[in-house]
Amino acid sequence: MQKKDLDWKNIGFGYTQTDYRYVSNYKNGAWDEGGLSTDANIVLGECACVLQYAQTCFEGLKAYSTADGKIVCFRPDLNATRMADSCRRMKMPVFPEEKFVEAVVETVKANAQFVPPYGTGASLYIRPYMFGADAILGVKPANEFQFRVFCSPVGPYFKGGVKPLHLRISDYDRAAPRGTGHIKAGLNYAMSLYAIVDAHEKGYDENVYLDSATRTHIEETGGANIIFVTKEGNIVTPKSDTILPSITRRSLLQVATDYLGIKAEEREISIDEISSFTECGLCGTAAVISPVGTIDDHGKIITFNEGKNEMGPVIKRLYETLRAIQMCEIPAPKGWIKEIL
């Protein structure tokens, strides 16, 4: 296949418009047929529910070229289920999970020329999302919705090598108990913008959020789950109802136990115990795992992997194993790899 003439190794993580996107509209209580469109723009009325009351949620996953020349994506069924959960919590109609996966596949197929070649480290980021589209003034859910899937080629996450991240414990909160922290709603990101800009201005890469009820337990960062390695070499990750259930994190825990024989545990993690951990990483679709070098807890600096300028040994094994599974270099658990082309 003739690929687009893009500088795959230097595209970075930003939006590049591709040729096709998937669009389906919900009206009078039902989804229409849905299909591909070449129109990247959306025309909305000035009072559209999403613009006034932020009724929207999204997903994120990647398609990429594998060692054996295929185009695949990773566990899209879990994105479909998570989006259905987000929709129910946001009072939006669920887009049927099977159709969600079909829409992802159709969008990637139509944009196959934008899927970066194997070995570049780049991939095609896929963004399914939904929003309330009709005019709503009194506070209530919309009646009409649009579901879309667009994609954008993105560059390798670790361009120019791995640099362990410098995080801080945030004084802002991300998610309230019984709130929306466990779903992928745009509103969770809107309210994190102030904190992330403030963190960047002060020289940190990301905010670590605590549980907002007691501010004694670690939750996650603005856009990634967090995992730690204990002195014994086990993996621990916070358990909480207000954390977004990362597909990468869930996959890593299974890889740890089933592939590497590493014990993995989900439990409450108190802020006071993190200084006893030997490694720390952030996990999400974008990077799989990015190693964390330090966490600044109000002037007390906690250092992981002895402050080395690389991934720690356990995080590295996890990263390399999941990456090899994704790239079809080693066998994947059943159902993890969705072949597209």
Active centre residues (catalytic): 184
Q: Which is nearer to ligand PLP, 146 or 237 (CB)?
A: 237
**CA triple 279-184-123, angle to 5 deg:** 65
User: What are the tokens at 136?
Assistant: 């709503």
Task: Please write down the HEC assignment for all residues of 264-306.
Answer: EEEECCEHHHHHHCCEEEEEECCCEEEEEEEEEECCEEEECHH
| Other beta carbons within 10 Å of 68 | 10
In the block, which residue shows the tokens 């079909």? Answer: 102
DSSP string across 29-84: TEE---EEES-------TTBHHHHH--EEE--EEEEE-TTS-EEEE-HHHHHHHHH
Q: Dihedral of the CA atoms 37, 48, 91, 103 (nearest 10)? A: 10
In the block, which residue shows the tokens 């090899």? Answer: 324
Residue 5 has phi, psi (to 5 degrees) of: -85, 80
Contact residues for ligand PLP, defined by CB under 6 A? 60, 184, 220, 223-225, 244, 246-249, 283-285
Contact status, residue 220 vs residue 238, Cβ threshold 8 Å: yes
Alpha-carbon distance of 341 to 335, in angstroms, equals 16
Measured in whole angstroms, the distance separating CA 244 from the mean position of its chain's CA atoms is: 9
Residues forming a β-bridge with 282: 226, 290
Residue 269 has phi, psi (to 5 degrees) of: -125, 120
